[in-house]
Amino acid sequence: MRVVMVAKQKGGAGATTLVRELGVAAAAAGKCVVFVDLDPQGTLRGWWNRRTEGVQGDPNPGLATPTPDQMPAALDQLRASGMDLCIVDTPPSVHPFLGAVMRLADLILLPTRPTTDDLDALPAILDLVEEAGRPFAFVVTQVPPGRSRLLDDAVPVLAQRGRVAPPLRIRIDFPVAAATGSAATEIAPKSKAAAEVEAVWHFVSADLAKLARKRARAMVS
């Protein structure tokens, strides 16, 4: 089982949107997915409850509800139960438990809006990520559609500090889908929003596959 964690400095970065869209895309690609919502606001949990109300059987993605200090044991249990992918949503990085949880991740995604205000907030979370020593990548979110000066300016700044995944733009399909516990890839599979999610999922899955190959080589040698 791989653990992907979404972390951010500021609320509203688009973290929960990224988590649920990636989880649904991964499940559609045949993975057994489980979410963990460590944000006390419970936005992911609320969406998942809307999604699974009245649903029979084990939903995919599922939801696990450990506290931050239960995370190591909870991940062991989920791994043993045959999950392929655990995606963890987190509160803004002021929460003291975040560093410890980051060390459990195979990949940390850092969603950020491409505005100066948001980019200025990144060094604090980057310090935590670099301390955790886990692979990470930025995901620029809520980019205005079309040619965007904001995106053009943000990407080189971010690229100096780490890898940059494909962006998600401002698309009404994201909040509309979320209202009914769905994802943009489900309510509008041919939309630009869906294509953007697929591109991020492709980036993430390629990264996790690379990790698997590296581990396999390490076991052989």
Ligand X SMILES: Nc1ncnc2c1ncn2[C@@H]1O[C@H](COP(=O)(O)OP(=O)(O)O)[C@@H](O)[C@H]1O
- Which of positions 181-200 make contact with ligand X (CB under 6 A)? none
Which tokens is 172 given? 């009404």
Q: Rule CB under 6 A: is residue 170 a binding residue for ligand X?
A: yes
CB of 16 to Mg ion, least distance (A): 3
- Under the binding rule (CB under 6 A), the answer on residue 47 touching ligand X is no
Q: Under the criterion CB under 6 A, does residue 51 sit at the interface with ligand X? A: no
4 binds ligand X (CB under 6 A): no
Q: Which of 16, 93, 185, 205 binds Mg ion (CB under 5 A)?
A: 16
Kindly tell me which of 89 and 106 has the beta carbon lying closer to ligand X: 89
Q: Does 178 bind ligand X (CB under 6 A)?
A: yes
- Number of residues engaging Mg ion in binding (CB under 5 A): 3
Considering only residues 5, 21, 43, 188, which one is a binding residue for Mg ion as defined by CB under 5 A?
43
3-class SS string, the chain:
CEEEEECCCCCCCCHHHHHHHHHHHHHHCCCCEEEEECCCCCHHHHHHHHHHCCCCCCCCCEEECCCHHHHHHHHHHHHHCCCCEEEEECCCCCCCCHHHHHCCCCEEEEEECCCHHHHHCHHHHHHHHHHHCCCEEEEECCECCCCCHHHHHHHHHHHCCCEEECCCECCCHHHHHHHCCCCHHHHCCCCHHHHHHHHHHHHHHHHHHHHHHHHHHHHHC
Minimum CB separation of residue 67 from ligand X in Å reads 19
Residue 13's binding partner among Mg ion, ligand X, none (Cβ under 5 to 8 angstroms by kind) is ligand X
Which CB, 44 or 126, lies closer to Mg ion? 44
Residues that bind ligand X (CB under 6 A): 8, 11-17, 43, 141-142, 168, 170-171, 174-175, 178
